[in-house]
Amino acid sequence: MTIIDGLVAEHRVFLMLFDQMERALPGVKTVDEIALMCRLLEAPLHDHGGTETDLAYIALDHILHQQKRLTRLYHDHQEIDVLLKKVEEIKDLPKARTQLKVALDACRAHFREEEHTVFPLIEKALQHETLLILGRVWKSQSHLSK
């Protein structure tokens, strides 16, 4: 398994979780429940973003630096963290529901960008053996593989 395979597998797990959360949102009765949903996402998303940064994006620093695209990807990770934190602060239930959907949509858009643009660049930039080594590192660190 390459690092890209591992990261895409994590994306699939997150996407299923996002779908489940959105289906549950109409039945949520309090803003505290929505805040809890956000807190449940924050740590795994933060860890996932850190893994992408530490194991995958670093390989693209030299390729994308001139294009400022990598900076945007790093910023996306921070923005997603901020969006989830903001949802937790909202005291109006309908607004909290809407903002959680906005945060989930931002995550989905970020994943699409990575899968369609960034991951193929990583696969072109690195030798297959390097991708496999990074995949083994990902597996040793990933909560999904345990």
Q: Give the pTM.
A: 0.88
3-class secondary structure per residue, the chain? CCHHHHHHHHHHHHHHHHHHHHHHHHHCCCHHHHHHHHHHHHHHHHHHHHHHHHHHHHHHHHHHHHHCHHHHHHHHHHHHHHHHHHHHHCCCHHHHHHHHHHHHHHHHHHHHHHHHHHHHHHHHHCCHHHHHHHHHHHHHHCCCCC
Q: What is the pLDDT along the chain (146 residues), one digit of tens a residue?
A: 999 999 999 999 999 999 999 999 999 999 999 999 999 999 999 899 888 888 887 777 766 664 566 667 778 888 998 999 999 999 999 999 999 999 999 999 999 999 998 899 889 888 999 999 999 999 998 766 55
